Chains A and B, each alone.
Chain A
Amino acid sequence: MVKVVCDSTADIPEDLTKKYDISIVPLNVIFGTETYRDITDITPDQFYKRLVESKVHPTTSAQSPGYFSELFNKLAKETDEILVITISSKLSATYESAIQAKALVGDICKIEVVDSMQTIGGLGLLVIKAAEAAHGGARLTQIMDMLNSLLARSHAYMVFDTLEYLRKGGRIGRAQALLGGLLKITPVLTLRDGVVTPVQRTRSRVQAIDTLVNLVKSARNIESLIIQHATTPDDLEILAGRLADIYPKEKTFRHTVSPVIGVHVGPHVLAVCFIEGE
């Protein structure tokens, strides 16, 4: 069976990680010179508390090629095909790390590394689809074909209270254009070609949630959907309620946004990610 590997920014619900035996490679969160492996060493709760309180703004880093190669060597004992799906290479060196690890381990088994051009649920939903297919007996080439068709249909939309975190972390991308405004703006952003891109400027969180709902409404035949937050469960509840008549609530995944992404989006992020039908 194909073994599926992804990074910790994919925010995959734990029960699915177990069910499909997905290997999660943690990125690192760094406060000063203290390094924490995403999720493994620091839980979202601990992290967001510290993010708000800490005077040092944390940074993040990709996992090392060595970590990937050790994982590949371990998995190669159980399988002959490995699929790695990573966070957008425009946001992190994780993809490069995995590619180097693939070169390092040589011909131990067949390994494909895919740059999702996404992160959070936009990446996670792709990983879940791939892992489902692997469990259903699909071979690596079949899953690759499937991913090629899915990549352009996976979308992540996020609401921010402030662009400060994105700016500090250097991932502001095309949302640079939104900086320096004189009015308080609650922007809605997405990832386009793997880069943070503005969708809409709103004046309040309520308007921003309206925008998220409208984006989901205007999508065609949603195949899967995840909603995410960091420290605002009430807003997540509101969003869930608003989406209930567009996509079945019981099939909607829910998850927190991982600390590594939290460094760049801040504690008030709210997100909806989905895969559109063909």
Chain B
Amino acid sequence: MNDANSWNGKDIRDMFAAGSNWMEKSVADINAINVFPVPDGDTGTNMLLTLRSVIEEADRASDTNTGAMTKAMSHGALLGARGNSGVILSQIFRGLARGFDGKSTFNGADWAQAFTQASKTAYEGLSNPVEGTILTVIREAATKAQKVAEKNPDDLIGILQAAVDEARESVGRTPTLLAALMEAGVVDAGGQGLYILLDGALRFLKGELDDLQYRKPQMVNANITATKTFDMVSSEEEEAYGYCTNFLMEGQNLDPEKIRRKLDGKGQSLVVAGDETAVRVHIHTYDPGGILAYATTLGTLHQIQIQNMDDQHVGFKEMQRQKVLPPEIAVIAVAFGDGMIKVYESLGAIIVKGGQTMNPSVKEILAAVEAVDSQKVILLPNNKNIILTVTQIKELTSKEIDVVPTRTLPQGITALLTFNFENSIRENLQAMSEAIKSVKSVEITTAARSTQVSGIKIKQGQAIGIIDDSELVAAGDDVNQVLMESLAKAGAESVELITLYYGNNTKQEQAEDVVTKIKKDYPDKQVELVNGGQPHYFYIVSLE
């Protein structure tokens, strides 16, 4: 340390050693917010490992000469650079070394100049620099440092203080620059790491050694709520931020700066952008009414959007779920049973409710066809009575309609699963039609009346087993027993996978019992139990 206004290589080394130790305490927190460019949760670790290599090289260089010291540090960074953030960090050290090249000692202005060089070198280092990252943070911090240095060239601590303050602000702004961060509700991890590194260096210069030892860095928070589920964000509950309020204001002599000042403190994540005639406002607030009332006094309002952010979160999840199939082709399936419908939806299908006892009308199916954005639609009727209905749809719409003639719900699921994302609609239709031949369906339902079919005597109300919606193979009072007989008749011993969807008239324990039985009788089969929730059918079974 040095109280005079002339600093040397040892000071630079100690600054970054302190900064690096400071950052080490936050590695897990930094990892937790890492979503960009790849959400792999290792930014903090990578920065730390890179910094360790920097400090190792610095310790080896006994030179107090600043130029030689930063050159050694730059070399260490290059050798130790890990991951994306590490590579950028190594560019930053390279820039510092360039800036200090030939300098034995330095003052505040020299540091600001080298720091600016570091920022430039970081940008040069990337084939595709992205704003809202560590790059933005260093650039803005360096610009600030330069400004202060012009006034007080000898005040290193003041200059670094200004840079650290600006870095903190800059980190807070990163979500407004980078959509991935906004969606995940986090600030940029690399930027956060750089801020903490600089903060540690500053604390060291200011002599706050106890703080460095006993306290933990303060993370910059995003102050926005995630719109996208992101499992790696720390499980800490984010507090509610009320309503996300967005609108465009048009008028004359509008003053965005004044509007921003006025709205500041009325909510979170305030963004006011625009010019004299049009200003866009984004704010998370508990009181959207108050914001709008104020805005109407200044101009006319357009594109007003107010959303409860908790609902937004749910809406986004819903949207993600429906994005399974590429939008050029939609698959519309007729299905029933809450659980069954969920299975279909999770595989990307759009549902028209209906089935055995309540066939959907042509009108209902047509409405679904017209409602999807896709021009090409594949229909899965999942019932022989509905096959005819859907075939009529072709005549009634300008969209390209194809039907895979599925007769049962298991066939429909197999057809959906066969959908190949890389193939054309023709190839898909062929593969789907082919695949449904490989699945056998067993349905266990109740006999509507007493009768005799294929030599089997049936009393009304008994459980009956039907294969592929056509062949009655078993009847009896014990539902599970009928299921076991039907499976045997359907050739369960020659399949690999038995999926059991139990209906809303079957208890889960009863279904689990029969799964145990199936596993015992067919020990080498994969057996899956799904709550299909369908009415009328105790079980719908898929054999494939």
Contacts and interface: CB of A to CB of B under 8 A. Distances in A.
B480 to A, nearest CB: 22
A58 B91 CA distance: 26
A76 to B, nearest CB: 17
B348 to A, nearest CB: 7
Contacts of B530: 182-183
B422 interface: yes
A182 B341 CA distance: 11
A30 B42 contact: yes
B544 interface: yes
Contact of A35 (B49, B348, B528): B49
B346 interface: yes
Contact of A96 (B82, B87, B420, B422): B87
Interface in A47-101: 59-62, 64-67, 69, 91, 93, 96-97, 99-100
Nearest to B81: A64
A67 B79 contact: yes
Given A28-B82, A96-B127, A171 B38 contact: yes
A137 interface: no
B422 A199 contact: yes
Contacts of A99: 127
Interface string B405-443: 000000001000111111000000000000000000000
A167 B417 CA distance: 21
A198 interface: yes
From B40, B80, B90, name the one whose CB has the most chain A CB atoms within 10 angstroms: B40
A178 interface: yes
Interface in A173-212: 176-178, 180-185, 190, 192, 197-204, 206-207
A61 B49 CA distance: 11
Nearest to B78: A66
Contacts of A185: 417
B45 interface: yes
Given A178-B324, A206-B496, A170 B38 contact: yes
B10 interface: no
A96 B86 CA distance: 11
A67 B82 CA distance: 11
Contacts of A183: 343, 346-347, 413, 417, 499, 528, 530
B497 interface: yes
B289 interface: no
B504 interface: no
From A168, A182, A192, name the one whose CB has the most chain B CB atoms within 10 angstroms: A182
Contacts of B77: 66
Contacts of B48: 33
Nearest to B79: A66
Contacts of B421: 197-200
B79 A184 contact: no
A169 interface: yes
Contacts of A169: 40
Contacts of B497: 203-204
A97 B125 CA distance: 10
B496 A96 contact: no
Given A28-B82, A93-B84, A182 B346 contact: yes
Contacts of A96: 84, 87, 125-127
Nearest to A192: B422
Nearest to B435: A207
Interface string B137-153: 00000000000000000
Contact of B79 (A64, A91, A204): A64
Interface string A219-258: 0000000000000000000000000000000000000000
B280 interface: no
B75 interface: yes
A16 interface: no
Interface residues of B, number: 52
A269 B362 CA distance: 45
Nearest to B339: A182
B39 A65 contact: no
Given A65-B90, A69-B78, A182-B530, A33 B45 contact: yes
B79 A202 contact: no
B75 A182 contact: no
Nearest to B322: A177
Nearest to A65: B78
B81 A200 contact: no
Contacts of A67: 79
Contact of A59 (B40, B81, B496, B528): B40
Contact of B323 (A66, A69, A177): A177
A208 to B, nearest CB: 11
B42 A65 contact: no
From A183, A190, A204, A207, name the one whose CB has the most chain B CB atoms within 10 angstroms: A183
Nearest to A115: B127
Contact of A61 (B46, B320, B544): B46
Nearest to B53: A64
B120 interface: no
Contacts of A64: 78-82, 86-87, 90
A104 interface: yes
Contacts of A197: 421-422
A100 B79 contact: no
A91 B346 CA distance: 27
B158 interface: no
A93 B343 contact: no
Contacts of A35: 49, 82
B342 interface: yes
From A61, A100, A181, name the one whose CB has the most chain B CB atoms within 10 angstroms: A61
B82 A177 contact: no
Interface of A: 28, 30, 33, 35, 59-62, 64-67, 69, 91, 93, 96-97, 99-100, 104, 167-171, 176-178, 180-185, 190, 192, 197-204, 206-207
Given A171-B38, A184-B528, A199-B422, 9 more contacts: A30-B82, A61-B86, A62-B82, A62-B83, A66-B81, A100-B90, A181-B347, A182-B343, A183-B499
10 contacts: A30-B45, A65-B78, A66-B80, A96-B126, A100-B91, A100-B125, A170-B40, A180-B346, A185-B417, A207-B496
